[in-house]
Amino acid sequence: MYFKQQKNKAMETSVYTYIMQNYITEDIVGAFLEYNKNEDPEYLKEFVEQATISEIVAEFVDNCIDNGESAIDVLNKYVDDHYITINPKIEKLCEKYIVLEKTYENDGYFYITQRNNFETINLCDCFDDYGQPIGCYRSKCYSFDNSDSDATKDCLKDLYEYFGIKYSDDDLLFNIKDVLRGENPLLQNIDKERINEFVKNWQKENESHTEVEAWTFWDGGNYKTLVLQSDFGYEDVREVDEETQEVILSELPDYPYIEKDIEQIETENFIFTFSRYESDPFYCSVCEK
């Protein structure tokens, strides 16, 4: 784990400073309380509530020294046991970036992009691999734009009933656009503005669209969408597990100046590839050495 790799670095600075820089408050307090679990719980609670984090660290370090133990070793064990958090720098990187792998193509690469590129959007507003809009029909939305859904028929039923018009099954075959253009003979005596208002309100209150967590980008020739999460089991990419993400981002280099089309940077365990190609939307791709 990352913390185990950092133990030797603790010798480069004071124990106090190292703890303040490399652990967050939740872990420090948790380790402090667990280490002193045999003390009076009321005293510990009052101390933690009133003391600053600096005072807690100082008390924690002193307690460990008195017992001939290393506060850093105690903290590392606590983190390993509870696995609550990671190095603050890595934590920030995990908040900013997401590490992905392709779902249907095992190419041996991981892909990094900004986490906020992905958002919850309607699948019908997304684009396929050929840059074509997916639309409501392929998304199976309950919508006027999906001819396989009952949205148009349901709206017509409610519309006829609202205006007290008798109808047959054949009268449910009209297209909504025909209705709005005044080409439905059953509605000829109804004010067009009232019809339009009814249809607009019905659409707003009743239509539903399939949602996904996805990222739409321009690849230099077309718009494309990568689906990260959906309710119907189709995703283009998936987020790797937390531990893999931390290990990769712990070695993420700064974005380089790219003189050629691509620039590769080797770290201890990975090769990071940065690209200038417009067709490559990712911050970088990563492979193991």
Rounded mean pLDDT, 209-226: 95
The owner of tokens 């099954």 is 169
- Rounded to whole angstroms, the Cα distance separating 53 from 60 reads 10
pTM of the predicted model over 0.75: no
β-bridge mates for residue 266, sequence order: 271
What phi-psi label fits residue 131: left (phi over 0), alpha (psi between -120 and 50 degrees) or beta? left
pLDDT per residue over 11-52, tens digit each?
Answer: 334 788 888 878 888 889 999 999 999 999 899 999 999 999
pLDDT of residue 8: 40
Return the closest-CA partner of residue 30 out of 6, 60, 1, 51: 60
pLDDT per residue over 92-104, tens digit each?
Answer: 899 999 999 999 8
pLDDT above 70 as % of the chain: 94
Sign of CA dihedral 151, 157, 162, 165: positive
**Distance from chain centroid for Cα 255:** 22
Residue type, 135: G
